[in-house]
Structure 1
């Protein structure tokens, strides 16, 4: 089967079409034709009734075109024609975008983001945000000494709290082990304080009971 050139006036729109074409879609169809030309043929049967490509046909008519590239089937049954119309509209919608590749392509375009099917300003924002994320990821891991020390101290405190709550630990043992750690924490937090309040830690809930 080969692509032939036919007059648009000779093509016939079907009485029923599986796909409803919105104004936005037809607008993007037009942008695509203006930028790249007709990149896919219109498919018709032996009576030139359109089986696939109604949106493209409407676009070419609106643009004042006279001809179109066409695939023509001469031996399909009525059932096969309906199946073709259903399949052509459904199969494409089953695919999903590879966002990683899409972002890579957008970055490769270096700001030239006039692409049919997309809003240029939204694409620019997407690329801008992607660059911010990339910058932040590149800086990840360059922590200064103070940040590293804080992370280690927080991890140590969490480990101590976990040890307090271990099952099977006796009340006296829990109080003895946690009192020293919490007393040291209190002294660190209140180095300039002249009075240190005493407390015990409940072995069941881990809360401090001030004396």
Structure 2
């Protein structure tokens, strides 16, 4: 492969092109070339047939340019040429934008949002939305005086209710339990009284106190 400058009139469009270039894309291509110049070469084979860069080629023609930077392959097979055309169009589409970094760049540009490939009004709206989101995040958790007053009242009511519940628990008697009746002759001397009465559990030793 070698790099050279060629006349556009000497380049040849391929009979079949995988990528369809819309009017919108060509217009953005032109914006880019006017702003930055040709930043990547057109790729051709030994017959000057374009393998990659058809959109750029069409853009340069629209701009009445006469020459372009070209990479020229002279040793590719027909299969390799087709693979190159497919890969060039597909690989780029596999990537995704890092929106966080994009937003950071847009903010750092400080309003200079004339960027090829983007609508300037949409970019300004994106920056404005990001500023609004940042403001709302900074306000998150901030309470006004009325909200603070309501929270204090709710806390006081809860504390009063808890104090009332604790006092009621201390005044409650130990519960009485009525055991099931035992029958038979085993209930003799030395054994616990027949469990036909009422008793309470001693809170200290855990023994039954019969009433």
Shorter-chain TM-score above 0.5: yes
SS at match of 1:3: strand
In the aligned structure 1, how far is the partner of 2:37 from the partner of 2:151? Answer: 59
Q: TM-score, normalised by structure 2?
A: 0.69
Aligned to 1:23: 23
- Residue 51 in structure 1 maps to residue 51 in structure 2: yes
C-alpha change, 1:109 and 1:84, in structure 2 (3 Å) is same
C-alpha change, 1:63 and 1:152, in structure 2 (3 Å) is farther
Q: What is the CA distance between 1:143 and its match in structure 2?
A: 1.6
Aligned to 1:172: none
Q: Which has the higher helix share?
A: 1
Aligned to 1:128: 128
Q: What are the Cα deviations for residues 101-134 of structure 1, in whole angstroms up to 9, with x where unaligned?
A: 0000000001000000000011111111111111
C-alpha change, 1:114 and 1:143, in structure 2 (3 Å) is same
Q: What is the CA distance between 1:4 and its match in structure 2?
A: 1.1
Q: TM-score, normalised by structure 1?
A: 0.69
- Residues matched between the structures, number: 155
Q: What is the CA distance between 1:147 and its match in structure 2?
A: 2.4
Cα RMSD, aligned residues only: 1.8
Aligned to 1:12: 12
Aligned to 2:173: none
Larger Rg: 2
C-alpha change, 1:132 and 1:5, in structure 2 (3 Å) is same
In structure 2, list runs of 5 or more residues that go unmatched. 156-211
